[in-house]
Every structure is written in C-alpha cells, then in structure tokens.
Chain A
C-alpha cells in the first residue's frame, strides 16, 4: 500500500465531506468531479498501465447510460440496473478487448474511437427500445427535494469512485498490474516468458469499462433524459486522457488529481469565456502536452533537476 495510494484514499474521503458545506450546485460539481475521476482512473488501467491508447471510454459511458436507462424505464430498481450495467459492460468489453487489443498503436486508437460511433448509431436506430434520436426519459429514481436528490446522486457517484479507486489500487499491486506493466514495456518479450497477453489485456479492457458503465447508469438516472449524441460524445473519450496526462500517467493518485484539476479549469474557463471557452480548453491541452508531457506532478522541485537531465 504505497504512500500515494493512501493519499488517494484520503483525498477521496475528503471529497465525501463536500455535502457538509456545499450547496446544490457545489454538489453537482462534486458529482461531476467524481464522474471525471471514475473515467480517468478506469481509462488509466488500459491507457496508463498497459500503454494501449484507448478512446473507448465514451462507448462504455453511453452503453451504461442506456443499459441502466432502459432497465429503469422497465421498472428495475436503481441498484439492480447499475449492477447489470456494470457486469454486462465488463463481459462485453473483455470479449471485445480480446479482439480489438490484437491491434496496436494508431489502429487500436481508431478502432476504439469508432466503437462509440457504432454504438451511438445502433442506439439511434433502435427507436422502439431506446427512443433513438428522440432520446430516452428516465423515471425519477427518488422524488425527494432538491438537496436530498443532489446528495443521493453525489454519494452514488462517490461510491462508484471509491470502488474504482480500490480497483486501481488493487490492480496496481497485483499480478494483473505487474503483467500490464510488462505488456506496456515489451509485449513480445512478455509472451516469451509465458504471459498470456490476450487474457490480461482483455481483463484490463473489461475493468476499464465496468465502472465507467456504472457511472453512466447513475448519470442517466441523475439527468432523467439522455440522447445518443450526448452520452456517446467523443469528449468522454478524450477528457480522461487529458486528465491522466495532466496528473501524470500511471499512478492512480496522479490521475485522480488530474481529473479534479481538469474539472476546476473547465468550470473556470466555461464560466468566464462564454464565446471562446472551447478554444481556451484546446489551448490548455496543447500547452500541457508541449511543455509538461509528464503531467503537472513533474513540477515538484526535487524532480526538476532530473527532468533537466533528460532534455
């Protein structure tokens, strides 16, 4: 249990205290912060640990939103719908991963990117099941007042974040994490020492999907109305990568900090530059990648002299 993992759990516990002093809007921001952290931590398993540039997060998020949304529409309780969304996402992603993860580099990136496109069009055309282009109404999970509902969904998303963080910590220290690190460094050598790369990659892809799908389900119940082009938006695939790059790839703590930092920047930028906020966001991404490739965590003084040596 490295110090950084303990710090991560402390950070998540601190976030849980938000309802004590935050209003409804702060709770909404807190829920989105937990959502972003779930996306980034889940992506990190396949993108940071295994080094596979996955752009499939949006596909899993949309899948979870619609899977849970449809089930909630048919009267399922929230926890059952979320559980189904989580498990089915793991199985589907693992099976898909075994095929897609045979590709590498750009080809894998493009395949994972088009996964969301295919899923969105399938949902778009299954009008009688998902409402297609007309979107899907999700019945109110709990009819209570503003604060009650805001707090309920905040803790629901926070629960998923906690589960994701524990998963990330366990995987990091386990045989799976060790195997993924081997695969990232040299996949051929890994298979030469007896590592079944397809199995471990599929497991990593499944783990990167299940909690994102759970978060998608909670999200659907929270907004009460979803439509395909919103929940399968490519930004859900790109943002986790930027967050992970911001915080420093690989370590769960860095990735989580990256997620919170990203939300802070996005909120400030979105609020103050109404007309040009997407441009400002783009500028941030470019500057980050050009000048801080190892993420902001590499800004700490004692690391600076080492970085200078690299250049």
Chain B
C-alpha cells in the first residue's frame, strides 16, 4: 500500500518539479544563461496569487492567466535592458550577474512583503480524494493538472508556432539561426520573457500548496538545477523526465534512508549525471 502512495506522491510532485524547472531549462537551453533569479520569480508569482486571492478572490487557477503576461513583460524587459549587454560573456559573468539581480529582487521582497510566512488557504478547503486508500489532496491535483497544461502549452508553442520554431532554432545553433534571418536578440528577450512567465505561473500554482516566503526561492532554484541536469536541457520532455526522476528518488530515498538524506541523494545524483551523462536522460549531446 505504502509503495502505491509513494509512487502517486512522486508522480504528482514530479509534474510540479517539471513545471518549476521548465522556465529555467528554456533560458539555460536557448540563451545559455543560468538564471539564478528563477527562484525569486516563482516566489513573486506566489505573492501575486496570494494578493489576487485575498484581495479579489481570484483563485490561483485563474490567476495564472493574469500572471503569464505580467511576468512575460518583466522577463522581456529585464533581458533586453540588462542581460543582453553581457549575453556573449562567459558563464562566469552571466551567472554572477543573475546572482546579483536575485539579491536585489529577494531583498526587495523581504523589504516590501516582510519576511513572515504567508499561506494561501482556500476558504472552501478542497480536502483530498482517495482511490483505494491512496490519498491525494485535491489542490495538489489541480496544481499538477495546471502544471501539465502549462508544459503542454509550451510544447505546442515550441512545436507549432513560428516564434517557437525560431526559439528552437536558436537553441540548436545560434549562428545558423542568424543566417536564416532569425532576429536573435529579440528571440533571446522573448525566450527569457517566456521563462519568467513560466516561473511566475509555477509560483502561482505553488502558492496553492506551499507556504509563501522569499526564503523559499533558493529551494525552488535548487530543484530547477537538479531537474534540468537529470532530464536534459531546454526541452519539455527533459523537464518532465527530470522532474519525475527527482521526485521518485526523493520519495524512495527519504522512505528508506530518512528524510534528511533526500536532498543529499538528489545532489549526489546530480553530480553522477553531470559526469557520466551531462546531456541528461532525454537530452542530446553536442551543446555546451
């Protein structure tokens, strides 16, 4: 019985992890930038959901629709005005720059929202549903469904739309894309905007389940790292594969080794994958 419960937990959590990681993976894959603000974007999204729910009673699954454009614009401007100036710099500079930006954003959130923990509690609490004594909370199911919808939407965008094809082209080979007439700087800005929108939406969904505080941004960022490396970069399937693997490892690990070893296990797994299979489960070798 317990095995089924762990499996279901891992499945549900895995989709959430995928949703947390997909924006980060897109920015890393396309712009070749490790975006350390990603965690704080998620927390900002959670605050937005908290504000909308308490002030205007807009439940999170609708708030996602509000969050996406807002965060897209935020991401687009941030890339255009700040990140674009150092986009050709080595990883050292871009990574440290996003670290600096994260310090600013995180500190601003502590300053304006005060650091204490907030929890978005839906007044008609949704309780949980149980299928032959495996119990799953409804709000988590909704978040997982929305997460899958979000990743599916991105998958379609990348596959079907012109912008999507251009983004994938830039990810595969920037120089070739330029020759094909792709306006790379604007694609960078759009991709970063998309990444921020995905982070914001993930944050809104997380607000359903986890407490909201600027201090959780590093936890979200850590998960995004591990999921990207395990699953493989810049692709939706990679994020899903990585998310599910991480959730399974943490679930099994904490059951048999104790919860405090779960995080250790995930980072050890990260290093093993990095050394043996840097392109991840489903990624393709051949790009930095």
Contact = CB atoms under 8 A, between A and B. Distances in A.
Direct contact of A and B (CB under 8 A): yes
Interface of A: 47, 51, 53, 99-100, 102-107, 109-111, 113-115, 117-118, 121-122, 124-125, 238, 241-242, 245, 275-276, 278-279, 281-286, 289-290, 293
B93 A111 contact: no
A118 to B, nearest CB: 5
A282 B100 contact: yes
Contacts of B106: 278
Interface in B173-211: none
A118 B101 CA distance: 26
Interface of B is mostly: helix
Contact of A282 (B85, B104, B263, B267): B104
Given A110-B274, A118-B271, A278-B106, 18 more contacts: A99-B275, A103-B278, A104-B288, A106-B95, A114-B267, A118-B268, A121-B260, A238-B96, A276-B108, A279-B103, A279-B111, A281-B100, A281-B103, A282-B105, A284-B100, A286-B100, A289-B97, A293-B86
A241 B222 CA distance: 20
B103 A245 contact: no
B96 A289 contact: yes
B250 interface: no
Interface of B: 28, 32, 34, 82, 85-86, 89-93, 95-97, 99-108, 111, 222, 225-226, 229, 260-261, 263-264, 267-268, 270-271, 274-275, 278, 288
Please name the 5 residue pairs, one residue from A and one from B, whose CB atoms are nearest each other, closest first: A282-B103, A285-B100, A279-B107, A121-B264, A282-B104
B263 A105 contact: no
Nearest to B85: A290
Contacts, number: 121
A104 B278 CA distance: 10
B111 A276 contact: yes
B104 A286 contact: yes
Contacts of B82: 286, 290
Nearest to A133: B260
B104 A241 contact: no
Contacts of A276: 107-108, 111
Contacts of A284: 100
A106 B288 CA distance: 7
Contacts of A102: 275
Nearest to A54: B92
A133 B264 CA distance: 14
A124 B95 CA distance: 27
Given A53-B95, A109-B34, A279-B108, A117 B267 contact: yes
A286 B81 CA distance: 12
A110 to B, nearest CB: 6
Contacts of B86: 289-290, 293
Residue of A118, A122, A241, A275 with most partner-chain B CB within 10 A: A118
Contacts of B92: 47, 53, 109, 241, 245
A13 B105 CA distance: 40
Given A111-B275, A114-B225, A121 B261 contact: yes
B97 A286 contact: yes
B103 A289 contact: no
A241 B263 CA distance: 26
Contacts of B103: 278-279, 281-282, 285
The winner among B96, B111, B270 for most chain A CB atoms within 10 A is B96
Given A124-B260, A125-B261, A111 B99 contact: no
Contacts of A115: 271
Nearest to A102: B275
A285 B278 CA distance: 30
A106 B91 CA distance: 6
16 contacts: A53-B92, A53-B95, A100-B275, A109-B95, A111-B275, A114-B225, A114-B271, A115-B271, A124-B260, A125-B264, A278-B106, A279-B103, A281-B100, A283-B104, A285-B97, A286-B104
B234 to A, nearest CB: 12
Contacts of B260: 121, 124-125
A106 B104 contact: no
B108 to A, nearest CB: 6
B267 A105 contact: no
A241 B36 CA distance: 15
Contact of B288 (A105, A111, A238): A105
Contacts of A118: 264, 267-268, 271
Contacts of B95: 53, 106, 109
B91 A53 contact: yes
Contacts of A117: 222, 263, 267
A110 B229 contact: yes
B256 to A, nearest CB: 14
* Most chain A Cβ neighbours within 10 Å, of B82, B95, B226, B267: B267
Nearest to B95: A109
A58 to B, nearest CB: 13
Nearest to B228: A110
Nearest to A289: B97
